[in-house]
């Protein structure tokens, strides 16, 4: 594309730091390098050079790399300048770069967007890269690596090829119904393959919940009456004071949340307002929020103070019923799944173990090549629906069934970004930080 602006950004972390890596991408990179270091270094080889302003002052000395198009991250000419990571050093280079016509600072995600536009990365890989940069737990990292390195995409490309082949065979049958080399049984083979493809897609889609839990976290919600010991439990599990603990009922009025890394998985722990009837307006809003998050929980821990006899609540069947304050004399006759005390620590290890066990019941991926976003779900579900439609009511005729296969292929193409996704790009690339 002629006259496309050349972009630059700090691609390493915040300064001050040991190093600051500034990345430049675009047509003008050779001219910029020639001006800054007096020559164009050999391709893809680090060279140590003084980086100078245009009136010859040394800005800094550091490693310089040049990646000529198309063999670069963006597919354009790319340079990396490894400077000392001081604020003034980076500022000086930025001022110098801004002097070049046709150069400007990059927007968030713009390098990745150029990589996508030049076909270096597909959308799944781009999303995987955003996830890899954001990954905080080991399992998030593994999921993101699989996605960013093309492992997940290759499944979709394989399916797309099978669909294309199926359509080609059907077209042949439509065009040459009586030809000898396209016997009727070809059609049977095609539909057998479409049917097994539908099964594969359906079981792939079933993995989405696991993918979402790995990516977005396993939601554990602590609920119960006021003063049951919810906030104390939250603090004990988080091993720090996240929530205010008092013996005044109704202290927690909003949903509090803390991230834990448990066995490499992200666990999102929520403490909620105590459930009771109240006229107090703020507390009522807190209870409304509590009820909402309870419905979204992957695991509900329903706590009850066993030292007081309260009206027995009936938590949902899937909830773990925990009796709290086991260090105090027991007055409740109820059967609990687990007894705990945040006072003496009893039962807390068991509760942690139980959270891990419940998590692993939901997430036991054979492979990390699994979908993990609502966007994937929508497109894959559409593809599956079209595949199933093509198998239903064969009497509708081959041309209509072939049309279903085309729709199934288009939906798959939207997942990888091979098919018209222009309207999604701003959302997807907006997730990135500047410099990526
Ligand atoms: P929440 O309203 O359900 O969040 O309950 P809190 O965590 O704020 O606890 C209410 C009161 O019970 C506070 O005074 C806590 O100190 C006390 N408490 C909480 N857990 C325990 C426990 O395991 N043993 C004893 N003895 N007291 C507890």
User: What does the pLDDT read at residue 387?
Assistant: 96
Structure tokens belonging to residue 156:
């979709």
Q: Strand 103-105 to strand 6-10: parallel, antiparallel, or no bridges (unpaired)? A: parallel
User: What does the pLDDT read at residue 267?
Assistant: 94
Burial 79-103 (b: 16+ CB within 10 A, else e): bbbbbbbeeebbebbeebbeebeeb
Nearest CA to ligand 1 atom 6: 229
Q: Which of 131-145, 188-202, 279-293, 336-350 has the lowest mean pLDDT?
A: 279-293
Atom of ligand 1 nearest to the CA of 271: 4
Comparing C-alpha atoms, which of 206, 228, 230, 229 is closest to residue 220? 230
Comparing C-alpha atoms, which of 264, 262, 347 is closest to residue 301? 347
Separation of CA 170 and ligand 1 centre (Å): 69
User: What does the pLDDT read at residue 103?
Assistant: 96
Give the position of tokens 């085309």: 406
Rg (CA), the chain: 29
Confidence of residue 424 (pLDDT cuts 50, 70, 90): low
Separation of CA 240 and ligand 1 centre (Å): 15
User: What does the pLDDT read at residue 253?
Assistant: 67
Distance CA 394, CA 404 (A): 12
Residue-wise pLDDT for 141-196, tens only, equals 999 999 999 999 999 999 999 998 888 888 877 776 665 554 556 778 889 999 99
Residue 420: pLDDT over 80: no
Residue 281: pLDDT over 80: no
- Average pLDDT value over all residues in the chain: 89
Residue 411: pLDDT over 50: yes
User: What does the pLDDT read at residue 382?
Assistant: 97
User: What does the pLDDT read at residue 176?
Assistant: 67
Nearest CA to ligand 1 atom 24: 325
Cβ of 343 below 6 Å from ligand 1: yes
Higher pLDDT, 252 or 278: 278
Separation of CA 271 and ligand 1 centre (Å): 13
Higher pLDDT, 305 or 291: 305
Atom of ligand 1 nearest to the CA of 340: 23
Separation of CA 343 and ligand 1 centre (Å): 8
Separation of CA 245 and ligand 1 centre (Å): 7
Distance CA 280, CA 277 (A): 9
Separation of CA 229 and ligand 1 centre (Å): 4
Nearest CA to ligand 1 atom 19: 229
Average pLDDT over residues 293-306: 93
Residue 255: pLDDT over 90: no
Nearest CA to ligand 1 atom 11: 247
Distance CA 76, CA 70 (A): 6
CB 21 within 8 A of CB 14: no
Cβ of 376 below 6 Å from ligand 1: no
Domains and CATH numbers, the chain: 6-106 (3.30.1360.120), 125-207+371-429 (1.20.120.430), 214-362 (3.40.50.300)
Confidence of residue 3 (pLDDT cuts 50, 70, 90): low
Residue-wise pLDDT for 23-34, tens only, equals 999 999 999 999
Separation of CA 331 and ligand 1 centre (Å): 16
Residue 1: pLDDT over 50: no
Distance CA 14, CA 86 (A): 10
Confidence of residue 276 (pLDDT cuts 50, 70, 90): confident
Separation of CA 260 and ligand 1 centre (Å): 21
User: What does the pLDDT read at residue 265?
Assistant: 93
Distance CA 6, CA 55 (A): 22
Its pTM surpasses 0.75:
yes
Confidence of residue 279 (pLDDT cuts 50, 70, 90): confident
Atom of ligand 1 nearest to the CA of 226: 2
Residue from 224, 243, 245, 278 to probe ligand 1 pocket by mutation (most atoms less than 8 Å from CB): 245
Nearest CA to ligand 1 atom 14: 247
Cβ of 228 below 6 Å from ligand 1: yes
Residue 106: pLDDT over 70: yes
């Amino acid at each position: 594309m002629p006259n496309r602006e050349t972009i630059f950004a700090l691609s390493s972390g915040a300064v001050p730091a040991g190093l600051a890596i500034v990345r430049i991408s675009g047509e003008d990179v050779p001219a910029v390098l020639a001006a800054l270091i007096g020559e164009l270094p050999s391709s893809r080889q680090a060279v140590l050079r003084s980086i100078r302003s245009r009136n010859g002052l040394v800005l800094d000395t550091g490693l310089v790399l040049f990646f000529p198009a198309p063999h670069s991250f963006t597919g354009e000419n790319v340079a990396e300048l490894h400077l000392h990571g001081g604020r003034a050093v980076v500022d000086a280079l930025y001022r110098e770069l801004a002097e070049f016509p046709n150069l400007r600072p990059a927007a968030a995600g713009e390098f990745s967007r150029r990589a996508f536009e030049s076909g270096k990365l597909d959308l799944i890989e781009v999303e995987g890269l955003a996830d890899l940069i954001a990954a905080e737990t080991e399992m998030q990292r593994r999921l993101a690596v699989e996605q960013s390195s093309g492992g997940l995409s290759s499944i979709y490309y394989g399916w797309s090829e099978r669909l294309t082949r199926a359509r080609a065979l059907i077209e042949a049958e439509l065009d040459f119904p009586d030809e000898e080399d396209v016997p009727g049984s070809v059609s049977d083979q095609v539909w057998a393959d479409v049917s097994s493809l539908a099964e594969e897609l359906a079981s792939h889609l079933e993995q989405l919940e696991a993918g979402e839990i790995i990516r977005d976290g396993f939601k554990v919600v602590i609920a119960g009456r006021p003063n049951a010991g919810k906030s104390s439990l939250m603090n004990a599990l988080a091993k720090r004071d996240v929530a205010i603990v008092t013996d005044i009922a109704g202290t927690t009025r909003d949903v509090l949340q803390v991230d834990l890394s448990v066995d490499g998985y992200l666990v999102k722990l929520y403490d909620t307002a105590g459930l009771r009837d109240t006229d107090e307006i703020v507390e009522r809003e807190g209870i409304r929020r509590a009820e909402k998050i309870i419905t979204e929980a992957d695991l509900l821990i329903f706590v009850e103070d066993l030292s007081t006899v309260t009206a027995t609540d009936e938590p949902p069947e899937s909830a773990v019923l925990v009796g709290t304050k086991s260090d105090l004399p027991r007055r409740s006759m109820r059967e609990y799944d687990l007894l705990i005390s945040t006072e003496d620590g009893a039962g807390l290890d068991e509760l942690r173990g139980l959270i891990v066990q419940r998590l692993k019941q939901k997430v036991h991926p054979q492979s990390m090549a699994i979908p993990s976003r609502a966007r994937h779900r929508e497109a894959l579900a559409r593809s599956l629906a079209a595949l199933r439609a093509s198998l239903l009511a064969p009497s509708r005729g081959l041309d209509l069934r072939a049309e279903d296969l085309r729709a199934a292929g288009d939906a798959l193409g939207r997942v990888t970004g091979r098919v018209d996704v222009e309207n999604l790009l701003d959302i997807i690339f907006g997730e990135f930080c500047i410099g990526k």
